[in-house]
Amino acid sequence: MTVLGSGVLGGQIAWQSAFKGKSVTAYDISDDAIERSKAAHERYAAIYLADVGANEEDIAATRDRLTYTTDLAAAVGQADLVIEAVPEIPDVKTKLYKEMAEILPSHTLVVTNSSTFLPRDFAADTGRPEKYCALHFANMIWRMNLGEIMAHAGTARKTVTEVTEFAIEIGMVPIPVRREQNGYLVNTWTVPLLNAAQTLVTNDIGDPEDIDRTFMFLGAAMGPLGMIDIIGMKTTYDVLAHWGKESGDTQMSANADYIKENFLDKNLLGMQTGEGYYQYPNPAYARPDFLNVPDISAVPNLVSAILPE
């Protein structure tokens, strides 16, 4: 199998699939991207040793099943399954599908990991619409091990069957999406949540940590701005910029601009680079005292946040 795009989620899909016994080729467009992916895989190795129950033999076997390339023809020329995990930019996906259609074996299945777009948006460009559907993964794949499966009108039943079997084989809980929906299940509620939280930051309504506290009091392990760090600033920007323009939502577009100016332009990509709204590997929201009642000495600072002098 081949994963096209070795960024945050593409890299996780490749590592998880190899960990579960698949021979995986990770493809990206530059040597720098490949080197970043290799570095991320070393971080995942440590996570799987600490949190997933892997041993050193498992990690060595996972590494052995992974290969890396910037040559598209070499990446997909013998693949049984190709997972597209390139940026959430329609033109980028379309260009890749059209280029790949000329070199894929006839039997190869193609799935998209798109977080917001529909399979029908790109089905014709693949040159094999009956062998194409969506399999959307969640970030932190080792913990959020779900796979949303969504077909388009031309997807063959055999394709959906084999993709669902693959999801189970690599340790995912298959989540059937009964009809095409931008955002699938998870992102239909996640994107509005993240956009609302980002609006509070963009418009200087609340401090990022306080915004996350209001969500974490519901029992969540992190708040929406922590989620943005995990998802990655680039993906969040791409989604907000596209849908802000598409829907004429000026606030969403302003939120995308905020992320670009305050994070992307400074190469702060979230957990991937060790800093976004929080610093990693020890983000403030993970502190045991993050939701504690503050000491009375904090009152002057709290008042100044409400009524600046």
The reported pLDDT for the residue numbered 137 is 96
- For residue 17, being part of any structural domain is answered with yes
Q: Which residue range forms the structural domain that includes residue 190?
A: 186-286
For residue range 111-150, what is the model confidence (pLDDT) as tens digits? Answer: 999 988 999 999 999 999 999 999 999 989 999 999 999 9
Q: Does 161 lie in the same domain as 32?
A: yes
In a shared domain, residues 110 and 200: no
Name the pTM for this structure: 0.83
Q: Are residues 29 and 171 in the same domain?
A: yes
In a domain, 294, yes or no: no
Which residues of the chain fall short of a pLDDT of 70? Answer: none
Answer yes or no: is 31 within a domain.
Answer: yes
Cβ atoms within 10 A of the Cβ of 277, count?
Answer: 26
Angle at 42 between CA 40 and CA 48, to 5 degrees: 105
- Final residue before a domain boundary, out of 129, 148, 176: 176
Cβ atoms of 77 and 53 within 8 Å: the answer is: no
256-277 confidence digits (pLDDT tens): 999 999 999 999 999 989 999 9
Question: Which CATH number is 241's domain given?
Answer: 1.10.1040.10
| pLDDT, tens only, 225-234 | 999 999 999 9
Confirm if 229 and 277 have CB atoms less than 8 A apart. Answer: yes
47 & 161 share domain: yes
Helix (H) or strand (E) holding 166, with range, is helix 157-169
Give me the number of domains the chain comprises.
2
